[in-house]
A and B are shown apart, each in its own frame.
Chain A
Amino acid sequence: MIEVKNVSKKYGNFEAVKNISFEVGEGEIVGFLGPNGAGKSTTMNMITGFIEPSGGQIIVDGFDIDKKPKKAKKQIGYMPENVPLYNDLTVKEFIAYMADLKLVKRADKKAEIERVLNAANIKDVENKLIKNISRGYKQRVSLAGALVGNPKILILDEPTVGLDPKQVTEIRDLIRSLKENHTVILSSHILSEVSQMCNKIIIINEGEIVKIGTPEEIENQTSEGNHVSVVIEDENDKFESVVSRISSIKECKLDKKVNNSKYYELECDSNSDIRKDLFKECANEDIIIIEMKKKENSLEDAFLKLTKKEGGEN
């Protein structure tokens, strides 16, 4: 559906996007993940034809965005960052204008406007001026604008940014409902959002793709082994000997001591679960376990690890 081949973008000497390539298949929901300034919006702006790449090729539904912009752009619905809208128009007028811009046939226009207003659930504000509606509604109006003309591809740049938790859930549900009929690319720096909604993740940092894969793949590939953290009260200092009796613990590290509680980090063999053994052994030695937790390999860790600057503290 979308092919991005060796695309780069330079602003003077600064390279915002460095020679990236990826493909998006039909019906996929792809999440673009990266810290602020990583080049997510730049890449999206290039796919939608708003800016031209300095090098490389972008093919949308078989059409080169540079050579056949009209045909390629017709397949794309774009919800840009910061939801730009015409404040002097009413919601309905705005959608009607988008329908005109996107070459919706006059005969279908009325039905299409109704369809989009209902799909984005903004029918109740259709006659309000855009400047008078709330941020959550604006976000939905912008999404509705992208839906006009029923494009095959939807590109959503940070669709949930700046919303309250309830609105975020609403927008996410809305996007999920689009799965069936559209190929979706969305960008975000919120990991849980991407891992919930997408079946493919592209992690981008400093203009380069650092990883492409499903959420699970990325979590697994970047995992740092099997860790268990425990907080104990151990008055007789017997914990070290307990640890030495459990063979699958590779390393034991005392993190900190707060009053009587000791915080330990245990590194174990992969595929082993030491928690039961540890519990029993500690009980035998009268060590009180306050807290015990197996560390999950989260996308969060993967993301931080992948986007870490070499030698930097980021």
Chain B
Amino acid sequence: MFAILKKEFKNYFLTPIGYVFIGLFLVVVSLIFYNYTFSQHYINFEYILWDSIIVLTFITPVLTMRMFAEEKKSGTDILIMTSPRSIFSIVMGKFLAACSVILITIALFFIYFIILCFFGKPSIVVALVTSLGFFLLAMSYISFGMFASCLTESQIIAAIITIAFFLVISFLQSSVGILSMFSLVSMFQKFPLGVISLKEVVGYLSFSILFILLTIIILQRRKSVK
């Protein structure tokens, strides 16, 4: 697992993908930061993260679309699939590599926190809790993006499936009953209040595990139908 994690992580920064992802994110977050801090004079770090999750919806595919689609297209999947590594470790390696990019992004966010400290006393606890929520949400997004990537050879199609799915589930937010439970965005709501709720944490984790498992099943099945 570690071998694949290392290679995939390196690959994000050998190619422009990692820089594009982090760069795009920071540009948008800077604008949000400017709006809250300088126009509206808030010093709440969590507001910035809260608003930036919409960006995450659209740029998660940058990280995930090539995961399996590109390997399949270029035929390199045969190299990993015929190695002694298990499908589980291949999938987890790729998944954790993308999660590491998210961690770097969050770490860079804290630059804004430091800037905020010059203007007042933002709560570090709330900032950390919101970051945790942000990470869990990103993890769920990545697990679905990865799943979409293993369905097709085309990175574009993988990206479209991912974004379309995120848009659909963000509409679930306003729906009622059981469907609203699947809304990843509404699960985020408690974190900016500084509350870590078990229900939401479990919700995100089970969503991630579900799509990691589905990815493994698809890859396993492909062996017999290919």
Contacts and interface: CB of A to CB of B under 8 A. Distances in A.
B114 to A, nearest CB: 34
Contacts, number: 69
Contact of B224 (A51, A76, A80): A51
Interface of B: 3-4, 6-7, 11, 14-15, 74-86, 223-226
Interface in A97-146: 97-98, 100-103, 145
B75 A49 contact: no
A169 interface: no
Nearest to A86: B76
Contacts of B74: 84, 86-87
B6 to A, nearest CB: 7
B223 A52 contact: yes
B84 A145 contact: no
9 contacts: A51-B224, A71-B84, A84-B75, A86-B76, A87-B74, A89-B11, A101-B84, A102-B83, A103-B84
Interface string A62-102: 00000001110110101010101111110000000110111
Contacts of B226: 50-51
Given A80-B75, A84-B74, 9 more contacts: A45-B78, A49-B82, A51-B226, A52-B224, A84-B76, A86-B76, A87-B74, A101-B83, A103-B85
Interface of A: 11, 45, 48-52, 54, 69-71, 73-74, 76, 78, 80, 82, 84-89, 97-98, 100-103, 145
A51 B81 CA distance: 9
A80 B84 contact: no
Nearest to A85: B76
Contacts of B86: 69-70
A99 to B, nearest CB: 9
A46 B7 CA distance: 27
Nearest to B86: A70
B155 to A, nearest CB: 14
A78 B78 contact: yes
Contact of A50 (B3, B7, B223): B223
A182 B81 CA distance: 22
Contacts of A82: 75
Contacts of B7: 97, 100
